[in-house]
C-alpha cells in the first residue's frame, strides 16, 4: 500500500472517533471557563472531586449619617462667629440637617438648595446655651451632636465687685452715714472687701492695678441685686460709673472676682421679734421652709453670675453675732432668744451649703462658699453700754446711754460681753473693724483653694 492511500484510509476513522468523543456526556464542552467545575442536579457548584460549594449573597445594611460640628463656640457680646456643619452619608444617601434651639442672634446658614451647612452667631447678651444639631437620612437613621454657645463681655481682670447687704457695705463703720444722705451706709475703706483685695494683691493673686467697687447697701434682699439700681463707689467712697443694678454691672464688666453677701434681711434675722415669730419652738419647720426658698433664690443669682461671666464668686454666709447672754425681748428673754438665734443660723448655714452644692457641673470650681459663724463664736456682741460696773454707776443717765448706744438691744450682751468682740457696740449686729479684718482673712484663705 502506498503512503498516500494509507492516509486516505485513516481519515474516515479519525472523523468517526471525533464524533464519538463529541457526543460523550463526560466530555468537557468547548469554551467551558472552569474545566474542574460541574453543576449537580440541584444547581449548586461542585468541584472536580464532587464536593458542593454553597453560594451566599451579602446585603450591606444602611448606615446612619456622620455629623461634624464644633463642640464649643465662644464669642464676645456684639462679635460674630460662623462655623460649618458638615453632614455626610457613607451610603451616598441624601441627608437633611436640622438645628434646634439657640439664643437671640443665632441662625443656621442655608445654601442655595435650602440645605443647612453651618451657623452664624452674633450674641446680644452674655450667657451659655446649648444647640442640638441632627442629620437624618431617608430611612430615618440620624446622628445627633450638641454645640455649647458661650457669650461674654470683655473681661476686667483687675476689677472686683462687692454686692449684697449691710456687711458687704460696711454698715456701722462710718458714723457720718447717720446724718449724711447715704441710704446704703457704706464705709468702703473699712469694709472687708477692700481689705481682702489689698491682701490678694499683696500675695499676687490679683494684679497690682486691681480695685474694688462696692455696691453693698443696707437692708438689701436677694431680689434687690437684680432689681434695684445703686451707685457703685470705689474704696475711697468716690462714685464710679453710673447707677445700675448689681447683676447688670457684674455681667457687663465680667470682673475677676465677685463678693456676694445677702439673705439676712430676706429671713428677718436682723429683727429680734422676727427671729422668734419665724422660728419659735412650734414653727421651726416653717422657718426652715423659708430658708430653703431664700437659698434657692440666692443659688439662682449665683448660678446666673457663673453662667454669664468668667468670675470667681465668693459667697459669704454671714456670721452669727448674737451675744452669749443676749438681752432678748420682753416676751421671751435672753435664753429663748439665744436658742432661736442658734437654731436659725445653723439652719441657714446648712441649707445654703446644701443648695449651692447642687449647682450644675462645670461652674462649681469657680464658686467659694465661706461660712463665718465659727470665726465669731468667741467674739460675739458686746454690751453696748459698757461693762456692768460702769453701767451700775450711771444711775439716771443709764436710760440716755442705752438710747444712744443700745442699738438692737436684743442682740447686745446683758453682761460684760466677750473680752474681744468682733461686733459693733453701737448696733450689736454688724462687724466692727476687727470683725471686718477677720472676715477678710477668712475669705482670702478660702480663695487659696482655687
> Pick the residue with more confidence: 81 or 49?
81
**How does strand 142-152 pair with strand 156-164?**
unpaired
Q: Which residues contact 162 (CB under 8 A, 6 or more apart)?
A: 168, 191, 193, 212, 213, 214, 215, 216, 258, 259, 261
Instruction: Reply yes or no on domain 156-447 having CATH 3.30.70.920.
Output: no
**Backbone Cα Rg of the chain:** 42
End-to-end CA separation in angstroms for the chain: 122
Q: What is the pLDDT of residue 159?
A: 98
Least confident of 60-74, 138-152, 294-308, 356-370: 356-370
- Which part of the chain has CATH 3.40.50.1110? 156-447
- Which part of the chain has CATH 2.60.40.10? 66-152
Give me the helix-helix angle, 284-308 and 246-253, nearest 10°. 30
Q: What is the pLDDT of residue 59?
A: 79
CA distance 437 to 379: 13
Q: What is the pLDDT of residue 35?
A: 42
* Model confidence at 15: pLDDT above 90: no
CA distance 352 to 154: 31
Q: What is the pLDDT of residue 336?
A: 76
* Model confidence at 406: pLDDT above 50: no
* Model confidence at 362: pLDDT above 90: no
Confidence of residue 347 (pLDDT cuts 50, 70, 90): confident
How buried is 330 (Cβ within 10 angstroms: 0-12 exposed, 13-18 middle, 19+ buried)? exposed
In this structure, what C-alpha cell is assigned to residue 330? 420682753
CA distance 173 to 112: 68
CA distances from 192 to 166, 255, 287, 388, 432 (A): 11, 18, 29, 31, 10
Digit-coded pLDDT (tens) for 65-103 = 999 999 999 999 999 999 999 999 999 999 999 999 999
* Model confidence at 3: pLDDT above 70: no
What pTM does this model have?
0.80
Q: Which residues contact 185 (CB under 8 A, 6 or more apart)?
A: 166, 169, 171, 172, 174, 177, 217, 218
- Looking at the domain that runs over 66-152, which CATH code has it been given? 2.60.40.10
> Pick the residue with more confidence: 234 or 416?
234
Q: Is 267 helix (H, G, I), strand (E, B) or coil?
A: helix
Digit-coded pLDDT (tens) for 225-264 = 999 999 999 999 999 999 999 999 999 999 999 999 988 8
In this structure, what C-alpha cell is assigned to residue 410? 436684743
* Residue of 341, 338, 318, 268 lying closest to 422 (CA atoms): 318
- Residue 169: phi and psi, rounded to 5, are -75, -20
* Model confidence at 388: pLDDT above 80: no
Q: Which residues contact 242 (CB under 8 A, 6 or more apart)?
A: 231
Q: Is the distance from CB of 193 to CB of 214 less than 8 angstroms?
A: yes
Digit-coded pLDDT (tens) for 17-40 = 433 444 444 443 434 444 444 444
Amino acid at each position: 500500500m502506498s503512503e498516500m492511500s494509507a492516509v486516505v484510509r485513516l481519515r474516515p476513522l479519525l472523523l468517526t472517533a471525533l464524533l464519538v468523543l463529541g457526543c460523550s456526556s463526560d466530555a468537557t464542552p468547548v469554551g467551558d471557563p472552569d474545566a474542574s467545575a460541574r453543576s449537580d442536579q440541584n444547581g449548586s457548584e461542585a468541584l472536580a472531586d464532587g464536593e458542593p460549594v454553597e453560594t451566599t449573597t451579602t446585603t450591606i445594611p444602611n448606615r446612619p449619617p456622620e455629623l461634624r460640628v464644633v463642640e464649643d463656640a465662644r464669642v464676645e457680646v456684639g462679635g460674630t462667629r460662623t462655623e460649618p456643619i458638615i453632614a455626610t452619608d457613607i451610603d451616598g444617601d441624601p441627608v437633611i440637617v436640622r438645628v434646634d434651639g439657640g439664643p437671640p442672634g443665632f441662625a443656621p446658614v442655608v445654601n442655595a438648595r435650602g440645605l443647612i451647612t453651618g451657623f452664624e452667631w452674633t450674641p446680644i447678651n452674655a450667657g451659655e446655651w446649648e444647640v442640638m444639631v441632627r442629620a437624618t437620612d431617608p430611612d430615618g437613621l440620624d446622628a445627633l451632636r450638641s454645640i455649647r454657645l458661650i457669650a461674654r463681655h470683655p473681661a476686667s481682670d483687675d476689677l472686683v465687685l462687692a454686692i449684697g447687704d449691710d456687711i458687704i457695705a460696711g454698715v456701722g463703720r462710718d458714723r457720718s452715714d447717720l446724718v449724711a444722705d447715704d441710704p446704703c451706709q457704706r464705709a468702703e475703706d473699712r469694709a472687708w472687701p477692700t481689705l481682702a483685695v489689698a491682701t490678694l494683691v499683696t500675695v499676687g493673686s490679683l494684679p497690682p492695678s486691681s480695685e474694688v467697687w462696692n455696691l453693698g447697701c443696707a437692708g438689701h434682699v436677694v431680689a434687690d441685686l437684680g432689681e434695684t439700681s445703686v451707685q457703685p463707689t470705689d474704696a475711697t467712697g468716690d462714685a464710679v460709673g453710673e447707677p445700675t443694678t448689681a447683676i447688670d454691672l457684674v455681667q457687663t464688666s465680667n470682673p475677676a472676682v465677685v463678693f456676694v453677701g445677702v439673705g439676712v434681711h430676706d429671713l428677718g434675722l436682723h429683727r429680734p421679734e422676727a427671729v422668734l415669730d419665724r422660728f419659735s419652738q412650734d414653727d421651726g419647720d416653717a422657718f426652715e421652709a423659708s430658708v430653703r426658698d431664700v437659698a434657692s433664690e440666692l443659688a439662682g443669682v449665683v448660678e446666673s453670675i457663673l453662667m454669664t461671666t468668667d468670675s470667681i464668686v465668693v459667697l459669704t454666709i454671714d456670721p452669727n453675732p448674737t451675744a452669749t447672754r443676749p438681752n432678748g425681748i420682753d416676751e421671751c428673754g435672753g435664753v429663748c432668744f439665744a436658742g432661736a438665734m442658734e437654731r436659725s443660723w445653723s439652719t441657714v448655714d446648712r441649707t445654703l451649703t446644701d443648695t449651692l452644692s447642687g449647682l450644675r457641673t462645670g461652674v462649681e470650681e469657680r464658686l467659694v462658699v465661706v461660712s463665718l459663724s465659727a470665726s465669731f463664736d468667741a467674739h460675739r456682741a458686746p454690751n453696748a453700754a459698757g461693762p456692768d460696773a460702769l453701767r451700775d454707776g450711771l444711775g439716771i443717765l443709764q436710760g440716755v446711754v442705752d438710747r444712744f448706744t443700745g442699738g438692737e438691744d436684743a442682740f447686745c450682751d446683758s453682761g460684760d460681753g466677750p473680752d474681744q468682740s468682733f461686733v459693733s457696740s453701737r448696733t450689736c449686729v454688724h462687724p466692727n473693724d476687727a470683725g471686718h479684718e477677720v472676715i477678710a482673712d477668712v475669705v482670702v484663705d478660702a480663695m487659696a483653694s482655687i
